[in-house]
């Protein structure tokens, strides 16, 4: 009798658990698993959205692997990530350190840094087209020299990357600031008593203890940078001559300009696999070097 009651209670608990899980489960299935499955399915079809999809086997996959444009977009994206991530991480860490010292005006600057991040990327892009315009642009007017920031083959990608850094650095700063706040002051005080200088404390105490934050920031910002689309779409449209044709934009143009939704799906899956691999590598690296518990 008692065991029957226990079984009923367990069944009831399981039901509760499933009931509580159901909303999330529906979200995950409907908005993640089903779309991924559709994209996988689509990658084996040729489809322009308005005529019926046609099965083409591996043709889309072979096409994107042999078409230099997709390879170019991966290279451009790699270069973009390599400019954006170190720059915004270093700047974010620098600004977070300044804010952490609680100097006068810290509150104001904290808000200021975050403002670009909360702005709509398209609006940010439009604003920067005015700033970087070759004729009558704000930046060229300021420096008194005409530089074609967005149409020069060598300058276009760094220019777009710097706009991206500008808009994301506040996000990075916020997380580093939070990470710095979690480091017990007793540790740095002890190091100071032992005669460690500011730089030594930073490199041997602050940075190692910031690794959980660093892991999170690097992972999320690298994924965001690799998926960049809107800034490029507004500023350069992928030009000049594909110099800023990042993979997010390439997928969009393949789908909506070339009407090759199957190829675009295959490209998206390649990016998905690459980003998942990158996240795994980062995790493996940081797992061996990260201390999460600062109380011991």
Partner 1 sequence: MAKRSQVVATVVAAAIVLGGAAAIIAPKLGGGSSDDAVVTVKLWDEAVAAAYEDSFAQFTEAHPDITVEVVVDPWATYWDNLVTDVAGGTAADIFWLNTFFTTYADNDNLIDVGAELGDGAADGWDPAVVAQYTRDGKLWGVPQLADGGKALLYNADLLADAGLNDSDLEGLAWSPTESADTFVDVAKALTVDTAGRRGDDPEFDGSALAQYGYNAAFDQDAIIFNYVGSNGGTWRTEDGFEFASDASAEAIHYAVDLVTRHHVAPSAADTNENGNFSKEQFLQGNLALFETGLYNLKEVVDGAQFTWGVAPVPAGPAGARTVTNGIIAAGNAATNNKEATLEVLRWLGSQDGSTAIGASGSAVPAVLDARGAYTAFWDAQGVDISPFFAGETFTLPVLTSTHAQEAEAEYTPIFKSMFLGDTEVDAGLRDAQEKANAALAD
Under rule CB under 8 A, which residues in 78-117 are in contact with partner 1? none
Verify binding: residue 51, partner 1, rule CB under 8 A.
yes
Verify binding: residue 48, partner 1, rule CB under 8 A.
yes
* Residue 45 main-chain phi, psi, to 5 deg: -125, 155
Applying CB under 8 A, which of residues 6, 9, 54, 289 lies at the interface with partner 1? 9
Applying CB under 8 A, which of residues 125, 238, 248, 262 lies at the interface with partner 1? 238
Site string for partner 1, 143-182 (x = CB under 8 A): ---x-x-xxxx-----------------------------
**Residue with smaller CB distance to partner 1, 93 or 150:** 150
Query: How far apart are CB 192 and partner 1 at their closest, in Å?
Result: 52
Verify binding: residue 50, partner 1, rule CB under 8 A.
yes
Q: Contact 239/155 with Cβ under 8 angstroms?
A: no
**Residue with smaller CB distance to partner 1, 213 or 250:** 250
Alpha-carbon gap, residue 160 to 165, rounded angstroms? 9
- Tell me if residue 48 falls in helix, strand or coil: coil
What angle do helix axes 247-256 and 261-287 make, rounded to 10 degrees? 160
Query: How far apart are CB 92 and partner 1 at their closest, in Å?
Result: 30
Stretch that binds partner 1, among 32-40, 45-53, 161-169, 183-191 (CB under 8 A): 45-53
**Residue with smaller CB distance to partner 1, 48 or 290:** 48
Largest CA distance in the chain: 90
Q: Contact 161/228 with Cβ under 8 angstroms?
A: no
Under rule CB under 8 A, which residues in 191-230 are in contact with partner 1? none
Count, residues near partner 1 per rule CB under 8 A: 37
Alpha-carbon gap, residue 41 to 227, rounded angstroms? 22
Applying CB under 8 A, which of residues 53, 134, 158, 212 lies at the interface with partner 1? 134
Helix (H) or strand (E) holding 113: helix 106-118
Alpha-carbon gap, residue 237 to 226, rounded angstroms? 16
Which residues, including other chains, have CB under 8 Å from residue 50's CB and lie 6 or more apart? none
CA dihedral 186, 188, 190, 194 (to 10 degrees): -170
Q: Which residues bind partner 1 (CB under 8 A)?
A: 9, 12-13, 15-16, 19-20, 22-23, 26, 48-51, 129, 133-135, 146, 148, 150-153, 236-242, 253, 256-260
């Amino acid at each position: 009798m008692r065991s029957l009651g226990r079984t009923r209670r367990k069944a009831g608990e399981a039901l509760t658990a499933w009931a509580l899980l159901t909303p999330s489960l529906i979200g995950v299935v409907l908005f993640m698993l089903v779309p991924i499955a559709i994209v996988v399915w689509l990658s084996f079809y040729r489809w322009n959205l308005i005529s019926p999809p046609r099965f083409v086997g591996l043709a889309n996959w072979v096409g994107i692997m042999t078409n230099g444009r997709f390879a170019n977009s991966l290279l451009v994206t790699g270069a973009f990530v390599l400019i954006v991530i170190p720059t915004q991480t270093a700047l974010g860490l620098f600004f977070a350190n300044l804010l952490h010292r609680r100097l006068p005006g810290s509150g104001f600057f904290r808000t200021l840094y975050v403002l670009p991040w909360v702005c709509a990327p398209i609006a940010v892009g439009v604003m920067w087209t005015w700033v970087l315009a070759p004729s009558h642009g704000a930046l060229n007017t300021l420096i008194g020299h005409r530089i074609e920031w967005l149409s020069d083959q060598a300058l276009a990608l760094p220019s777009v990357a710097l706009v991206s850094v500008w808009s994301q650095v506040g996000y990075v700063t916020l997380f580093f600031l939070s990470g710095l706040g979690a480091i017990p002051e007793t540790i740095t005080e002890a190091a100071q008593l032992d005669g460690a200088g500011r730089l030594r404390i930073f490199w041997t105490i602050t940075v190692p203890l910031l690794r959980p934050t660093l892991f999170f920031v690097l992972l999320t910002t690298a994924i965001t940078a690799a998926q960049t689309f809107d800034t490029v779409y507004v500023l350069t449209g992928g030009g000049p001559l594909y110099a800023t044709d990042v993979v997010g934009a390439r997928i969009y143009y393949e789908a909506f300009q070339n009407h090759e939704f199957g190829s675009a799906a295959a490209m998206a899956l390649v990016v998905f696999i690459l980003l998942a691999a990158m996240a795994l590598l980062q995790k493996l690296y940081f797992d061996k070097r990260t201390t999460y518990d600062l109380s011991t």
